[in-house]
Amino acid sequence: MEDSSIQYQYFNRELAWIEFNKRVLEEATSDYHPLLERLKFLIIFTTNLDEFFMIRISGLKEQFIQQSNELSADGLTASQQLFRIREQLLPLIESHEDLFNTIILPSLAKQGIKLVNLNDLNEGHSAYIKGLFVTDILPVLTPLAIDPGHPFPRLLNRSLNIVFLLTDHKKSHSKVAVLQVPPILQRLVPINIHPNHQSFVFLEHIIQEHADILFPGYTVQESHFFRVTRDADLDIAYDEAEDLMSEIAEQVRHRRWGTDAVRLEVDASTSPDVIAMLTNALEITDEDVYLTHIPLNMSDLYTLYKIDKPQLKDVPFLSRQIPEFLGSASELFEHIKKKDILVHHPFDSFTSSVVRFLQAAATDQDVLAIKITLYRAGGSSPVIEALKTAAQNGKQVTAFVELRARFDEENNINWAKELENVGVHVVYGVLGLKIHSKITMVVRKEHKIRTYLHLNTGNYNVTTSRLYTDIGYFTCREDFVNDAIHLFNMLTGYSHHEHWDRFSVAPDDLRLTLLDLISHETTQAKQGKPGRIIAKMNALVDRDIIDALYKASQSGVSIDLIVRGVCCLIPNIPGLSEHIKVRSVIGRFLEHSRIFYFGNAGDPKLFLSSADWMPRNFNNRVEIMFPILDKRSFAMLEHILSGYLNDTKSSWLLTEQGTYEKNDKHSPELNIQQSFLNELSAFKQFPTKLRSL
């Protein structure tokens, strides 16, 4: 590709991720969201950062240690990236702390939710807290001495800790001790101060205040809170592991402790000497230290979100029940036989569609077999229960369990064992690949054997189905079914099936199919025909795809990208990407659906997929993309995409500098997620005549 006015034609992935988390933080600043929802966004910001450090930063540090010569897409070394990341994170963290301390905390207090300082308690409340410490807290605490005979302890990854500097009354010697605040104890301790208020004190403050009881015979000179984040990426030689489940279970246990430290968070009052001692013990540098002015481990503050204050949260909603699925099992299958059915979660109920589909299959006497891919199913799951019921009813049930779903490995192992115990045949992935596709196949004996499919852009997880936007699709089209049969056979045995009727499958041909579709739009535009691409996804990183989009733009193809998170494509560059707009929607629901539209000179094509446009999805995962052939479903998706393109309330536009600007300069005002909720509450159906894309 010809060079443009910029040296590199891709944004840095890590810096693009920081921009995404910045947009999450911006949601917390908006009074459009109720107060406790704003607190939730602040918590999400910190948990996002935790994962970023555990996975992405740890990877860069490994590159740096190994003196790798590999450059990022924008030409930076690992060292340069680490410098730039810290440079951009520091002001973001400062904004996060300022918002929490000056806006959220005072606003919570006005609403009767208070985080109380121990110094503000009266004698009676102080006595109560002291008694609570002695009876309920002290027995659980284990202070650890640090001296030549007691090296610095191996602290749990992301645990909250206190370091104490002590003086021996008898010997006047200075001592150091470290205490890991027990995670089994309630972090926010309720205290009854005012009948109309819900007040809490922090557990670590109670421990700090009563350290003289914890260390009798010593004077506490200093005490400070700190938290260590460690490398948490699993290191598994999949081709060498004889028992993959046992190996992953062991690695998950290991993750709790982590390996090398990648970040040290300490409260801002910590003395330089203590920080130096901690950095030396953890074998990190000053650049890995982050001073904080807010409580560490903010995810514990989710306790406040659970308080029964509905006026401080999003208005609850009832998802639409799927009428085709409300009858008997035979009626449900008959409806799918007559027409494809598309559902849009969370606005369409996951329980009354997907779960009902599986429950019907589990109990219907004519169903012979069920096959399903499971990536993230959560904890207690009606999906798992339906599969267990099916097996107990004599159905042949096969579950393809992905044990390597990051941070869900333990959940997956637990319910994989549950499934095996009731006779489900559990298959643990494909060597070298993650099974990320979302598909269920139900085989039913009618006047002939008929197979029904459910395909989804998201996971079989009831909890997240209320929090994420995703698209599900039910069909029994024979060409879809043939592809599904070959896909499942590829997952269980030896199969090099290549000629898919309708599916595009990674790692076989998904990238090539998308490149062909983009190339076709490019050719159409060169011939003077209208070229049009709309793509909605979570992340855009793959350089082959980005280069193809640049070529399409240079040929005049109009391209709209709706990318929630990381986008490495640079828009709005004359001669390169001037016909490409990139927007990101951040709102009440996590945008998770992947929808791809190609204009095809007036005969448009629409596809749904489990895959984002990233190298890992194309190269290292089993993914599927499939076309929408049903006219009503097609119209519904056009309506959905049109709404995102017209959003002026919750969307952001990516600039050529890599920053985002709020897309609120146009009218009328539209929050697309709220619009979908309004359609739901008004019992409106998708319009038959839709805006042109």
Backbone phi, psi, residue 73, to 5°: -60, -25
Q: Over the Cα atoms of the chain, what is R_g?
A: 27
CA distances from 195 to 119, 191, 612 (A): 20, 11, 51
E strand or H helix that includes residue 533: strand 532-537
Answer for the pair 209, 127: CB distance below 8 angstroms, yes or no: no
CA distances from 102 to 108, 307, 309, 377 (A): 11, 21, 21, 38
User: Which entry of 436, 520, 592, 639 is annotated as an active-site residue?
Assistant: 436
Concatenate the DSSP letters of all residues of 406-434 into one string.
Answer: TT-HHHHHHHHHHHHHTT-EEE--BTTBE
CA distances from 430 to 404, 442, 520 (A): 11, 22, 33
Q: How many CA atoms lie within 13 A of 400 on its CB side?
A: 25
Q: How many CA atoms lie within 13 A of 239 on its CB side?
A: 2
- Per DSSP, 101 falls in state I
Q: How far is it, in rounded angstroms, from Cα 370 to Cα 396?
A: 6
With 0-12 CB in 10 A as exposed, 13-18 as middle and 19+ as buried, what is 247? Answer: middle
Q: How far is it, in rounded angstroms, from Cα 53 to Cα 62?
A: 12
The residue to which tokens 């999003």 are assigned: 314
436 labelled catalytic: yes
Pairing of strands 605-609, 595-598: antiparallel
Q: How far is it, in rounded angstroms, from Cα 310 to Cα 35?
A: 10
Answer for the pair 346, 469: CB distance below 8 angstroms, yes or no: yes
- H-helix segments, 195-271: 203-209, 211-214, 244-257
Q: Identify any residues that bridge with 455 across adjacent strands, giving them in sequence order.
A: 439, 473
Cβ–Cβ contacts within 10 Å for residue 542, how many?
22
The residue to which tokens 């009831």 are assigned: 462
**Residues near 691 by Cβ (< 8 Å), separated by ≥ 6?**
638, 639, 642, 646
E strand map for 295-408? 341-345, 367-374, 396-401
**Residues near 211 by Cβ (< 8 Å), separated by ≥ 6?**
164, 220, 223
Q: Is the dihedral of CA 272, 277, 278, 284 positive or negative?
A: positive
CA distances from 12 to 40, 78, 97 (A): 28, 11, 26
3-state class percentages of the chain: helix first, strand second, coil last, to nearest 5: 40, 25, 35
Q: What is the largest CA-CA distance in the chain?
A: 91
CA 184 to chain centre: 25
Q: How far is it, in rounded angstroms, from Cα 287 to Cα 191?
A: 39
E strand map for 586-677? 590-591, 595-598, 605-609, 621-627, 651-654, 660-662
CA distances from 190 to 185, 199, 213, 313 (A): 12, 6, 22, 21
The residue to which tokens 């410098």 are assigned: 83
Active site residue ranges: 436
